Structure 1
């Protein structure tokens, strides 16, 4: 017994010394960088000031052979906090996040939308077979106004081409109701996602009662929202080379199209993060599978956490796309047989492979988070965010996972400029704040990131996909919209819906004229003009045009 106690004391002592060293070394590096920047500003030394730019102040930091966060706002979390938190999760009695046990109710409150395959496949990668297996007649729960429900959208696109990296061949995937209809859930007028959460309530059944008695939907209700924002006909759809499309699959997995270039961020289509025995289980099925999407050109991976980097998708995509990843992930992909990889560190900027002449670039930018897929590999690989640029103009910002650091996000806009068309920022998995503040932003901080970046639009992601935190599962969407209203950006902020396709008109810098409404100068929320039009629904479908 005495020997076991002695061993335990030695292990605790070694861990304490290691943890203390890591924390002290990190803080020392932060202080040195901050002091250098302060002295440069006070002295006016241009050379020193240049060396204390955001790229220098927030350069990659390695302590003890592991990556570390060079942000003063970050608080390192030791194993003791992790153990205490897990024990607390197990022993508490209240249901977590208010998720209803009634799956029908959950489907009503978290609807899945059918991605707009007609828009997404406008890239030459689709094989169209006549007719449609997705008729409105198959949906018995259309709203009284006659708008098509997510599953009820009639489409001429019934098959897609998926390219296999293993064989080099293409496969025709049928998009019929037998394979996909079960994933799409029609919306009933009985429930709206903008329903208020009763004060102090963690019961989603209470939420449903409140919502059924609500006479007005919130700004971004999936039912009433389109009516209040107006609709446009298909003739109002921008051409492929004059639009961006954003389709949220779940968590931080987003299918993005820029001028016909296809990106997939933080791939995740599975029903469970780890496996069916351990979970966590997805609240709602993925609105589509990888095979249903157009061919992927680039995969952006922000870090290696299992809910952002799925092994099954790695195998399916293989070398058919270029993987753009932070330091350390090239080796992991190589073990999976994937070698078409661009590995970047913070502040690296490279032309998109194959798109050099078109002016497209990708910048690897910092984020405040951590990495690790197993028990002993914490921070062995880097984590990051990404900025897609066109002709040196910021177009799309993908935050991945991050806590909030004001200097960081202002620094990104200082280096690459403001006016980013869309910022894709997490808005969920933030409670309790004492535990999750260093690694996940809350809705108010999500909006603040948009302001710091000088972005035109914000799409909130990373919410209601899995239950990984304590806030009510519908709260991130509601709070994000409330925060946007509070700062006068309600037209420029949207909490994404599963599967719904959003279209953003976009023209490159050399195509922009001087008299168009789209060229209005973007201003921060203390000004009266944002230069962003209100979201409008495409007539006859749930696709939104911004």
Structure 2
């Protein structure tokens, strides 16, 4: 017996600030960052990226596989482990998350929980052309074909290292197709890789969809058990673009983070688990010689914390942050992510967006070291915000 999926569009959206300040036109087909922490890149930034950046990026160490090991993922969990929240880092910003396998009101338990695949990229390069500078320096945790059944594929934005067309094409061709979720402006991208329109869901910030997955029961009967969760498209600070033309004028597609929250029966005594996926995001805009702690920070994260906190598990980026003048607007440093952890009221977090591609100029193995220092500085309990091996599956009560 296979699982079936339903997506309900009539879930009430969260209304935060009335009219959408991130719309750059009345139609909601162009977008902008509305944050006081945002600044547009200027001619100095363009000069840097065109003439200096490639010369300053580091080389991958020869012992990269030792520095950042890859494990074989564990997908199937039984007994008490089946009742836990599970997250596996596939590499870069790709995560495979399985929500707890909850019993229904009749006491029947599903074989597994609902499964969400965030920003999957299994390609060897993160660009339209396979140049040396865009190649992976560590492999993904497994081949795409080795993934277990996926219910929802969630995309944060359309950059090549997050919306990977070869990967999405393979996922769209699966006999049992998952449903795909992305921010506004990405419908054409999804349909162009073969996703049926009925399986495409493009959302604005603060819009939600309810996902219901009928999963076979553990008892071997012909009964199914519903696994239900809400997906909410939430703000962050970033941008979009796959071609130079996308840089002209206001962006045509939106960028986002996402919140996944279990929906449990009314009489359940268990608290629903909440997962936050940050996507690709900055936290502030830092100029040369500026004290980072003196400028404004992105308001979105405290809004998310107020609406959805406490967050049981956050998946937060810690890499691709140097040089700060260019990268701080769009990518979090480890300290930025530690502050996001606090803003969203996270209980636990796993680091991502490092160790797969050489995108920026910080030393490749610097982010985990800086994360540990940042957690100590801002008062995050040791072990609450961690780095894992690629393919390592973490289980949370």
Matches within 5 A, 1:147-226: none
Q: Which residue of 2 aligns with 1:110?
A: 68
Separation in structure 2 between the aligned mates of residue 306 and residue 464 of structure 1, nearest angstrom = 16
For structure 1, the 5+ residue unaligned runs are 1-52, 124-236, 506-546
| Change beyond 3 A, Cα 1:391–1:59 | farther
Matched, 1:409 2:297: no
Matches within 5 A, 1:29-44: none
Residues 126 and 135 of structure 2 are in contact (CA less than 8 Å); yes or no, is this contact kept in structure 1? yes
Matched, 1:386 2:344: no
**Hey, which bits of structure 1, 4+ residues long, moved more than 6 A?**
none
Residues 311 and 346 of structure 2 are in contact (CA less than 8 Å); yes or no, is this contact kept in structure 1? yes
The Cα shift of 1:357 comes to 6.3
Alignment partner of 2:258: what SS?
strand
Separation in structure 2 between the aligned mates of residue 359 and residue 255 of structure 1, nearest angstrom = 17
Q: Once superposed, what is the RMSD of the aligned Cα atoms?
A: 2.4
Residues 301 and 308 of structure 1 are in contact (CA less than 8 Å); yes or no, is this contact kept in structure 2? yes
For structure 2, the 5+ residue unaligned runs are 1-14, 101-112, 215-224, 265-271, 284-296
CA offset digits 1:339-393 (Å, max 9, x no partner): 2111110000121154796541011000100011111124211110000012385
Q: Which residue of 1 aligns with 2:210?
A: 351
Separation in structure 2 between the aligned mates of residue 265 and residue 353 of structure 1, nearest angstrom = 18
Matched, 1:481 2:372: yes
Separation in structure 1 between the aligned mates of residue 43 and residue 96 of structure 2, nearest angstrom = 36
Separation in structure 2 between the aligned mates of residue 79 and residue 394 of structure 1, nearest angstrom = 45
Q: Which residue of 1 aligns with 2:11?
A: none
Q: Which residue of 2 aligns with 1:361?
A: 230
Matches within 5 A, 1:201-280: 238-240=80-82, 242-259=83-100, 260-274=113-127, 275-277=129-131, 279-280=133-134
Separation in structure 2 between the aligned mates of residue 433 and residue 277 of structure 1, nearest angstrom = 25
Alignment partner of 1:450: what SS?
helix
Separation in structure 1 between the aligned mates of residue 161 and residue 380 of structure 2, nearest angstrom = 33
Separation in structure 2 between the aligned mates of residue 488 and residue 347 of structure 1, nearest angstrom = 28
Residues 54 and 408 of structure 1 are in contact (CA less than 8 Å); yes or no, is this contact kept in structure 2? no
Residues 275 and 313 of structure 2 are in contact (CA less than 8 Å); yes or no, is this contact kept in structure 1? yes
Q: TM-score, normalised by structure 2?
A: 0.77
Separation in structure 2 between the aligned mates of residue 403 and residue 410 of structure 1, nearest angstrom = 14
The Cα shift of 1:59 comes to 4.5
Q: TM-score, normalised by structure 1?
A: 0.57
Count of residues in correspondence between the two structures: 330
Matched, 1:299 2:140: no
Residues 237 and 298 of structure 2 are in contact (CA less than 8 Å); yes or no, is this contact kept in structure 1? no
Matches within 5 A, 1:493-512: 493-505=385-397
Separation in structure 2 between the aligned mates of residue 385 and residue 422 of structure 1, nearest angstrom = 14
CA offset digits 1:134-176 (Å, max 9, x no partner): xxxxxxxxxxxxxxxxxxxxxxxxxxxxxxxxxxxxxxxxxxx
Larger Rg: 1
Residues 54 and 412 of structure 1 are in contact (CA less than 8 Å); yes or no, is this contact kept in structure 2? no
The Cα shift of 1:244 comes to 1.3
Alignment partner of 1:367: what SS?
coil
Alignment partner of 2:274: what SS?
strand
Separation in structure 1 between the aligned mates of residue 17 and residue 254 of structure 2, nearest angstrom = 16
Alignment partner of 2:371: what SS?
helix
The Cα shift of 1:262 comes to 1.2
Match for 2:184 among 319, 322, 327? 327
CA offset digits 1:261-296 (Å, max 9, x no partner): 111100101111124335411111222111111011
Residues 99 and 262 of structure 2 are in contact (CA less than 8 Å); yes or no, is this contact kept in structure 1? no
Residues 361 and 389 of structure 1 are in contact (CA less than 8 Å); yes or no, is this contact kept in structure 2? yes
Matches within 5 A, 1:27-106: 54-56=16-18, 59-63=21-25, 66-78=30-42, 81-90=45-54, 92=55, 96-97=57-58, 99-100=60-61, 103=62, 105-106=63-64
Separation in structure 1 between the aligned mates of residue 373 and residue 341 of structure 2, nearest angstrom = 15
Matched, 1:455 2:321: no
Separation in structure 1 between the aligned mates of residue 132 and residue 207 of structure 2, nearest angstrom = 37
The Cα shift of 1:336 comes to 2.1
CA offset digits 1:161-220 (Å, max 9, x no partner): xxxxxxxxxxxxxxxxxxxxxxxxxxxxxxxxxxxxxxxxxxxxxxxxxxxxxxxxxxxx
Q: Which has the higher contact order (CA 8 A, sep 6+)?
A: 2
Matches within 5 A, 1:3-42: none
Separation in structure 2 between the aligned mates of residue 447 and residue 351 of structure 1, nearest angstrom = 30
